[in-house]
Chains A and B, each alone.
Chain A
Amino acid sequence: MRVIVVTSGKGGVGKTTTSAAFSSGLALRGFKTAVIDFDVGLRNLDLIMGCERRVVYDLVNVINGEAKLNQALIKDKHCENLFVLPASQTRDKDALTEEGVEAVLKELEHLGFEYVVCDSPAGIERGAVLALTFADEAIVTTNPEVSSVRDSDRILGILQSKSRRAAEGRDPVKEHLLLTRYSPKRVEDGEMLSYKDVQELLRVPLIGVIPESESVLHASNQGMPAIHLKGTDVSEAYQDVVSRFLGEEHELRFVNYEKPGLMKRLFGGK
Protein backbone atom coordinates (compact mmCIF):
# COMPACT_ATOMS: atom_id res chain seq x y z
CA MET A 1 0.00 0.00 0.00
CA ARG A 2 1.24 3.48 -0.88
CA VAL A 3 0.27 6.56 1.11
CA ILE A 4 0.14 9.83 -0.83
CA VAL A 5 -0.34 13.19 0.89
CA VAL A 6 -1.84 16.11 -1.02
CA THR A 7 -0.40 19.16 0.66
CA SER A 8 0.46 22.83 0.04
CA GLY A 9 0.91 24.92 3.15
CA LYS A 10 -1.30 27.64 1.74
CA GLY A 11 -5.07 27.31 1.76
CA GLY A 12 -7.36 27.55 -1.24
CA VAL A 13 -4.90 26.32 -3.83
CA GLY A 14 -6.80 23.16 -4.74
CA LYS A 15 -5.77 20.41 -2.32
CA THR A 16 -9.26 18.99 -1.84
CA THR A 17 -10.13 19.32 -5.55
CA THR A 18 -6.90 17.47 -6.30
CA SER A 19 -7.41 14.81 -3.62
CA ALA A 20 -10.89 14.10 -4.98
CA ALA A 21 -9.83 13.99 -8.64
CA PHE A 22 -6.61 12.08 -8.05
CA SER A 23 -8.12 9.40 -5.81
CA SER A 24 -11.00 8.98 -8.28
CA GLY A 25 -8.47 8.63 -11.08
CA LEU A 26 -6.60 5.87 -9.24
CA ALA A 27 -9.88 4.07 -8.57
CA LEU A 28 -10.91 4.40 -12.23
CA ARG A 29 -7.68 2.62 -13.08
CA GLY A 30 -8.86 -0.26 -10.92
CA PHE A 31 -6.89 0.34 -7.75
CA LYS A 32 -8.61 -0.04 -4.41
CA THR A 33 -8.24 3.46 -3.03
CA ALA A 34 -9.18 5.36 0.11
CA VAL A 35 -9.17 9.13 0.45
CA ILE A 36 -8.96 10.59 3.96
CA ASP A 37 -9.87 14.12 5.00
CA PHE A 38 -7.42 15.36 7.67
CA ASP A 39 -9.04 18.76 8.05
CA VAL A 40 -10.59 18.19 11.47
CA GLY A 41 -13.11 20.89 12.26
CA LEU A 42 -13.36 22.13 8.66
CA ARG A 43 -14.12 19.05 6.63
CA ASN A 44 -15.00 19.58 2.98
CA LEU A 45 -13.84 16.53 1.10
CA ASP A 46 -17.29 14.97 1.70
CA LEU A 47 -18.91 17.92 -0.12
CA ILE A 48 -16.49 17.80 -3.04
CA MET A 49 -17.04 14.03 -3.35
CA GLY A 50 -20.81 14.47 -3.04
CA CYS A 51 -21.23 12.17 -0.05
CA GLU A 52 -21.96 14.76 2.67
CA ARG A 53 -25.37 13.31 3.44
CA ARG A 54 -24.01 9.85 3.98
CA VAL A 55 -21.51 10.77 6.69
CA VAL A 56 -22.32 8.92 9.89
CA TYR A 57 -18.95 8.22 11.47
CA ASP A 58 -15.63 9.92 10.83
CA LEU A 59 -11.88 9.55 11.25
CA VAL A 60 -11.91 10.70 14.88
CA ASN A 61 -14.70 8.24 15.78
CA VAL A 62 -12.56 5.45 14.37
CA ILE A 63 -9.45 6.61 16.22
CA ASN A 64 -11.39 6.84 19.48
CA GLY A 65 -12.86 3.37 18.98
CA GLU A 66 -16.41 4.72 18.74
CA ALA A 67 -16.88 3.17 15.31
CA LYS A 68 -15.29 0.45 13.22
CA LEU A 69 -13.28 1.56 10.20
CA ASN A 70 -15.64 -0.15 7.75
CA GLN A 71 -18.58 1.67 9.31
CA ALA A 72 -16.91 5.03 8.69
CA LEU A 73 -15.70 4.34 5.14
CA ILE A 74 -18.18 5.72 2.60
CA LYS A 75 -18.32 4.01 -0.76
CA ASP A 76 -18.00 6.55 -3.55
CA LYS A 77 -21.04 6.81 -5.81
CA HIS A 78 -19.10 7.69 -8.95
CA CYS A 79 -16.63 4.85 -9.07
CA GLU A 80 -15.98 1.38 -7.77
CA ASN A 81 -12.95 0.75 -5.57
CA LEU A 82 -13.06 4.21 -3.96
CA PHE A 83 -13.87 4.92 -0.33
CA VAL A 84 -14.01 8.21 1.53
CA LEU A 85 -13.06 8.64 5.18
CA PRO A 86 -14.43 12.01 6.30
CA ALA A 87 -12.89 14.27 8.91
CA SER A 88 -14.66 15.07 12.13
CA GLN A 89 -16.37 18.41 12.69
CA THR A 90 -15.21 18.47 16.31
CA ARG A 91 -13.52 21.60 17.55
CA ASP A 92 -11.03 19.60 19.59
CA LYS A 93 -7.77 20.12 17.74
CA ASP A 94 -6.05 17.30 19.61
CA ALA A 95 -8.57 14.73 18.42
CA LEU A 96 -6.08 13.29 15.94
CA THR A 97 -3.15 11.33 17.30
CA GLU A 98 -0.14 9.88 15.54
CA GLU A 99 -0.83 6.41 16.97
CA GLY A 100 -4.47 6.67 15.92
CA VAL A 101 -3.65 7.62 12.33
CA GLU A 102 -1.03 4.89 12.14
CA ALA A 103 -3.55 2.30 13.34
CA VAL A 104 -6.12 3.42 10.75
CA LEU A 105 -3.54 3.16 7.96
CA LYS A 106 -2.49 -0.30 9.12
CA GLU A 107 -6.09 -1.44 9.05
CA LEU A 108 -6.61 -0.01 5.55
CA GLU A 109 -3.64 -2.02 4.37
CA HIS A 110 -5.12 -5.09 6.04
CA LEU A 111 -8.38 -4.46 4.17
CA GLY A 112 -6.49 -4.66 0.89
CA PHE A 113 -6.29 -1.00 -0.06
CA GLU A 114 -3.58 -0.25 -2.61
CA TYR A 115 -3.51 3.53 -2.35
CA VAL A 116 -4.43 5.93 0.44
CA VAL A 117 -4.69 9.62 -0.43
CA CYS A 118 -4.42 12.00 2.54
CA ASP A 119 -6.07 15.38 1.98
CA SER A 120 -4.08 17.74 4.19
CA PRO A 121 -5.50 20.84 5.84
CA ALA A 122 -3.82 24.17 5.12
CA GLY A 123 -1.16 25.45 7.49
CA ILE A 124 1.65 23.69 9.29
CA GLU A 125 -0.23 22.71 12.43
CA ARG A 126 -0.97 19.27 13.83
CA GLY A 127 -3.46 18.14 11.16
CA ALA A 128 -1.15 19.10 8.31
CA VAL A 129 1.84 17.40 9.95
CA LEU A 130 -0.15 14.22 10.69
CA ALA A 131 -1.40 14.11 7.09
CA LEU A 132 2.18 13.93 5.83
CA THR A 133 3.74 11.89 8.64
CA PHE A 134 3.10 8.48 7.05
CA ALA A 135 3.40 9.55 3.42
CA ASP A 136 5.41 7.60 0.87
CA GLU A 137 4.80 10.25 -1.78
CA ALA A 138 3.64 13.85 -1.71
CA ILE A 139 1.75 15.92 -4.23
CA VAL A 140 2.66 19.50 -3.45
CA THR A 141 -0.18 21.57 -4.87
CA THR A 142 0.94 25.05 -5.86
CA ASN A 143 -0.56 28.08 -7.61
CA PRO A 144 1.77 30.12 -9.81
CA GLU A 145 1.72 32.96 -7.31
CA VAL A 146 4.30 34.19 -4.79
CA SER A 147 2.68 33.27 -1.48
CA SER A 148 1.72 29.79 -2.64
CA VAL A 149 5.23 29.07 -3.95
CA ARG A 150 6.82 30.22 -0.71
CA ASP A 151 4.45 28.12 1.39
CA SER A 152 5.09 25.09 -0.80
CA ASP A 153 8.79 25.48 -0.16
CA ARG A 154 8.06 25.59 3.54
CA ILE A 155 5.96 22.43 3.43
CA LEU A 156 8.73 20.68 1.45
CA GLY A 157 11.06 21.44 4.35
CA ILE A 158 8.55 19.94 6.78
CA LEU A 159 8.19 16.82 4.61
CA GLN A 160 11.95 16.42 4.72
CA SER A 161 12.12 16.77 8.49
CA LYS A 162 8.89 15.47 10.02
CA SER A 163 7.80 12.53 7.90
CA ARG A 164 8.35 9.03 9.30
CA ARG A 165 10.57 8.26 6.36
CA ALA A 166 12.82 11.17 7.30
CA ALA A 167 12.74 10.41 11.03
CA GLU A 168 13.66 6.77 10.46
CA GLY A 169 16.31 7.60 7.86
CA ARG A 170 14.57 5.60 5.14
CA ASP A 171 14.31 6.72 1.50
CA PRO A 172 12.82 10.21 1.55
CA VAL A 173 9.20 10.95 0.62
CA LYS A 174 8.90 11.09 -3.16
CA GLU A 175 7.88 14.63 -4.01
CA HIS A 176 5.75 15.75 -6.96
CA LEU A 177 4.92 19.29 -7.91
CA LEU A 178 1.39 19.94 -9.17
CA LEU A 179 0.60 23.38 -10.51
CA THR A 180 -3.05 24.34 -10.36
CA ARG A 181 -5.07 27.33 -11.58
CA TYR A 182 -2.59 27.83 -14.40
CA SER A 183 -3.38 30.39 -17.03
CA PRO A 184 -1.27 29.95 -20.20
CA LYS A 185 -2.41 33.32 -21.50
CA ARG A 186 -1.26 35.21 -18.43
CA VAL A 187 2.03 33.32 -18.50
CA GLU A 188 2.52 34.32 -22.12
CA ASP A 189 1.73 37.93 -21.25
CA GLY A 190 4.38 37.84 -18.54
CA GLU A 191 1.82 38.28 -15.80
CA MET A 192 2.12 34.84 -14.22
CA LEU A 193 5.01 32.63 -13.18
CA SER A 194 5.48 29.85 -15.72
CA TYR A 195 5.59 26.19 -14.71
CA LYS A 196 9.27 26.25 -15.56
CA ASP A 197 9.82 29.18 -13.19
CA VAL A 198 8.05 27.41 -10.33
CA GLN A 199 9.83 24.16 -10.99
CA GLU A 200 13.17 25.97 -11.03
CA LEU A 201 12.35 27.70 -7.74
CA LEU A 202 11.11 24.63 -5.86
CA ARG A 203 13.32 22.02 -7.56
CA VAL A 204 10.72 19.29 -7.44
CA PRO A 205 9.74 17.16 -10.48
CA LEU A 206 6.51 18.31 -12.09
CA ILE A 207 3.67 15.79 -12.18
CA GLY A 208 1.22 18.02 -13.97
CA VAL A 209 -0.33 21.38 -14.69
CA ILE A 210 -4.05 21.92 -14.13
CA PRO A 211 -5.40 24.91 -16.07
CA GLU A 212 -7.57 27.56 -14.45
CA SER A 213 -11.07 26.58 -15.44
CA GLU A 214 -14.73 27.16 -14.82
CA SER A 215 -15.22 23.41 -14.71
CA VAL A 216 -13.82 23.15 -11.20
CA LEU A 217 -16.67 25.21 -9.79
CA HIS A 218 -19.22 23.26 -11.84
CA ALA A 219 -17.76 20.07 -10.42
CA SER A 220 -17.82 21.20 -6.79
CA ASN A 221 -21.34 22.63 -7.18
CA GLN A 222 -22.53 19.13 -8.04
CA GLY A 223 -20.35 17.22 -5.64
CA MET A 224 -18.61 15.42 -8.47
CA PRO A 225 -14.80 15.15 -8.61
CA ALA A 226 -13.57 17.22 -11.57
CA ILE A 227 -11.96 14.22 -13.26
CA HIS A 228 -15.47 12.96 -14.12
CA LEU A 229 -16.33 16.04 -16.22
CA LYS A 230 -15.60 14.28 -19.48
CA GLY A 231 -13.94 16.30 -22.21
CA THR A 232 -12.91 19.24 -20.06
CA ASP A 233 -9.31 20.43 -19.84
CA VAL A 234 -9.30 19.89 -16.09
CA SER A 235 -10.50 16.30 -16.34
CA GLU A 236 -7.92 15.49 -19.03
CA ALA A 237 -5.15 17.21 -17.07
CA TYR A 238 -5.96 15.20 -13.93
CA GLN A 239 -6.05 11.99 -15.94
CA ASP A 240 -2.56 12.83 -17.19
CA VAL A 241 -1.45 13.36 -13.59
CA VAL A 242 -2.71 9.90 -12.62
CA SER A 243 -0.97 8.35 -15.65
CA ARG A 244 2.33 10.03 -14.81
CA PHE A 245 1.99 8.97 -11.20
CA LEU A 246 1.64 5.39 -12.40
CA GLY A 247 4.85 5.76 -14.39
CA GLU A 248 3.49 6.47 -17.86
CA GLU A 249 5.02 9.27 -19.89
CA HIS A 250 2.83 12.02 -21.23
CA GLU A 251 3.69 15.37 -22.68
CA LEU A 252 2.40 18.37 -20.77
CA ARG A 253 -0.90 19.65 -22.11
CA PHE A 254 -2.80 22.90 -21.57
CA VAL A 255 0.38 24.91 -20.93
CA ASN A 256 0.52 26.80 -24.22
CA TYR A 257 -1.79 29.62 -25.09
CA GLU A 258 -3.66 29.27 -28.35
CA LYS A 259 -5.18 32.41 -29.75
CA PRO A 260 -8.90 31.90 -30.21
CA GLY A 261 -9.78 31.48 -33.88
CA LEU A 262 -12.08 33.85 -35.75
CA MET A 263 -15.12 31.58 -35.35
CA LYS A 264 -14.53 31.23 -31.65
CA ARG A 265 -14.15 34.97 -31.24
CA LEU A 266 -17.30 35.64 -33.24
CA PHE A 267 -19.49 33.07 -31.60
CA GLY A 268 -17.83 32.97 -28.20
CA GLY A 269 -17.45 29.21 -28.15
CA LYS A 270 -17.37 27.76 -24.70
Chain B
Amino acid sequence: MSLLAKLFGEKKRTAEIAKNRLSLLIAHERSGSSGAADFLPALQQELIQVISKYVAVNPDDIKVQLEKQDNYEVLEVNIVLPENSR
Protein backbone atom coordinates (compact mmCIF):
# COMPACT_ATOMS: atom_id res chain seq x y z
CA MET B 1 0.00 0.00 0.00
CA SER B 2 1.41 3.37 -0.95
CA LEU B 3 2.04 6.11 1.58
CA LEU B 4 -0.77 8.21 0.15
CA ALA B 5 -3.21 5.36 0.38
CA LYS B 6 -2.18 4.83 4.00
CA LEU B 7 -2.59 8.49 4.80
CA PHE B 8 -6.04 8.70 3.30
CA GLY B 9 -7.13 5.32 4.55
CA GLU B 10 -8.01 3.94 1.15
CA LYS B 11 -9.76 0.59 1.44
CA LYS B 12 -8.73 -2.42 -0.53
CA ARG B 13 -10.79 -3.19 -3.57
CA THR B 14 -10.97 -6.94 -3.15
CA ALA B 15 -14.18 -7.68 -5.06
CA GLU B 16 -12.24 -7.99 -8.30
CA ILE B 17 -9.94 -10.62 -6.80
CA ALA B 18 -13.01 -12.54 -5.66
CA LYS B 19 -14.51 -12.40 -9.13
CA ASN B 20 -11.35 -13.62 -10.82
CA ARG B 21 -10.90 -16.48 -8.39
CA LEU B 22 -14.53 -17.53 -8.75
CA SER B 23 -14.55 -17.41 -12.53
CA LEU B 24 -11.57 -19.77 -12.69
CA LEU B 25 -12.96 -22.06 -10.04
CA ILE B 26 -16.47 -22.27 -11.46
CA ALA B 27 -15.19 -22.95 -14.97
CA HIS B 28 -13.02 -25.71 -13.57
CA GLU B 29 -15.78 -27.27 -11.49
CA ARG B 30 -18.29 -27.09 -14.31
CA SER B 31 -15.94 -28.81 -16.75
CA GLY B 32 -16.28 -31.83 -14.49
CA SER B 33 -12.53 -32.41 -14.37
CA SER B 34 -12.64 -32.11 -10.59
CA GLY B 35 -15.12 -34.96 -10.53
CA ALA B 36 -13.11 -37.03 -13.01
CA ALA B 37 -10.06 -36.78 -10.76
CA ASP B 38 -11.91 -38.46 -7.90
CA PHE B 39 -10.15 -41.74 -8.71
CA LEU B 40 -6.67 -40.37 -8.10
CA PRO B 41 -6.32 -41.37 -4.42
CA ALA B 42 -7.58 -44.90 -5.17
CA LEU B 43 -5.24 -45.16 -8.14
CA GLN B 44 -2.36 -44.09 -5.98
CA GLN B 45 -3.24 -46.70 -3.32
CA GLU B 46 -3.42 -49.50 -5.87
CA LEU B 47 -0.18 -48.45 -7.53
CA ILE B 48 1.54 -48.57 -4.17
CA GLN B 49 0.21 -52.09 -3.59
CA VAL B 50 1.29 -53.36 -7.01
CA ILE B 51 4.73 -51.81 -6.97
CA SER B 52 5.35 -52.92 -3.39
CA LYS B 53 5.01 -56.51 -4.62
CA TYR B 54 8.20 -56.10 -6.61
CA VAL B 55 10.12 -53.23 -5.08
CA ALA B 56 10.24 -51.90 -1.55
CA VAL B 57 9.03 -48.36 -2.09
CA ASN B 58 7.99 -45.73 0.34
CA PRO B 59 4.31 -44.77 -0.22
CA ASP B 60 5.36 -41.12 -0.16
CA ASP B 61 7.61 -41.70 -3.16
CA ILE B 62 4.72 -42.46 -5.47
CA LYS B 63 3.07 -39.30 -6.75
CA VAL B 64 0.03 -39.23 -9.02
CA GLN B 65 -1.03 -35.99 -10.61
CA LEU B 66 -3.50 -34.90 -13.21
CA GLU B 67 -2.54 -31.80 -15.12
CA LYS B 68 -4.30 -29.82 -17.75
CA GLN B 69 -2.39 -28.51 -20.74
CA ASP B 70 -4.63 -26.75 -23.23
CA ASN B 71 -6.90 -29.50 -24.52
CA TYR B 72 -4.96 -32.40 -23.07
CA GLU B 73 -5.09 -33.90 -19.66
CA VAL B 74 -1.81 -35.41 -18.57
CA LEU B 75 -1.77 -38.15 -15.97
CA GLU B 76 1.64 -38.04 -14.40
CA VAL B 77 2.85 -40.89 -12.22
CA ASN B 78 6.15 -40.29 -10.51
CA ILE B 79 7.81 -43.17 -8.67
CA VAL B 80 11.07 -42.70 -6.88
CA LEU B 81 12.86 -46.01 -6.34
CA PRO B 82 15.03 -46.30 -3.28
CA GLU B 83 18.72 -46.83 -4.06
CA ASN B 84 18.97 -50.27 -2.46
CA SER B 85 15.75 -51.58 -3.91
CA ARG B 86 17.27 -54.59 -5.61
Q: Which residues of A contact B (CB under 8 A)?
A: 145-146, 149-150, 153-154, 157, 187, 189-194, 197, 201-202
Q: A149-B26, A190-B15 are in contact. List 19 more A-B contacts (CB 8 A).
A: A145-B18, A146-B18, A146-B22, A150-B25, A150-B29, A153-B30, A189-B11, A189-B13, A190-B11, A190-B13, A190-B16, A191-B11, A191-B12, A192-B15, A193-B18, A193-B19, A194-B15, A201-B22, A201-B26
Chain B binding surface SS class: helix
Bound: A254/B65 CA distance, A: 47
Q: Which residues of B contact A (CB under 8 A)?
A: 11-16, 18-19, 21-23, 25-26, 29-30
A146 cross-chain contacts in B, Cβ below 8 A = 18, 21-22
B14 cross-chain contacts in A, Cβ below 8 A = 190-191
B18 cross-chain contacts in A, Cβ below 8 A = 145-146, 193
- Distance (whole angstroms) from the CB of A162 to the closest CB of chain B: 14
Bound: A199/B15 CA distance, A: 14
Known: A190-B13, A191-B14, A193-B15. A150 touches B22 (CB 8 A): yes
B25 cross-chain contacts in A, Cβ below 8 A = 150
B13 touches A191 (CB 8 A): yes
B21 cross-chain contacts in A, Cβ below 8 A = 146
A153 cross-chain contacts in B, Cβ below 8 A = 26, 29-30
Sample (13) of A-B pairs whose CB atoms are under 8 Å apart: A145-B18, A149-B26, A150-B25, A150-B29, A189-B11, A190-B13, A191-B11, A191-B12, A191-B13, A192-B15, A193-B18, A197-B15, A201-B23
A154 cross-chain contacts in B, Cβ below 8 A = 29
Instruction: List 5 tightest A-B contacts by C-beta distance, closest first.
Output: A190-B13, A197-B19, A153-B26, A190-B15, A146-B18
Bound: A194/B16 CA distance, A: 10
B30 cross-chain contacts in A, Cβ below 8 A = 153, 157
Bound: A187/B14 CA distance, A: 10
A149 touches B22 (CB 8 A): yes
Bound: A154/B22 CA distance, A: 12
Bound: A189/B26 CA distance, A: 25
Bound: A189/B18 CA distance, A: 14
B22 cross-chain contacts in A, Cβ below 8 A = 146, 149-150, 193, 201
Bound: A192/B30 CA distance, A: 24
B16 cross-chain contacts in A, Cβ below 8 A = 190
Nearest chain A residue, comparing its CB with the CB of B19: A197
B26 cross-chain contacts in A, Cβ below 8 A = 149-150, 153, 201-202
A189 cross-chain contacts in B, Cβ below 8 A = 11, 13
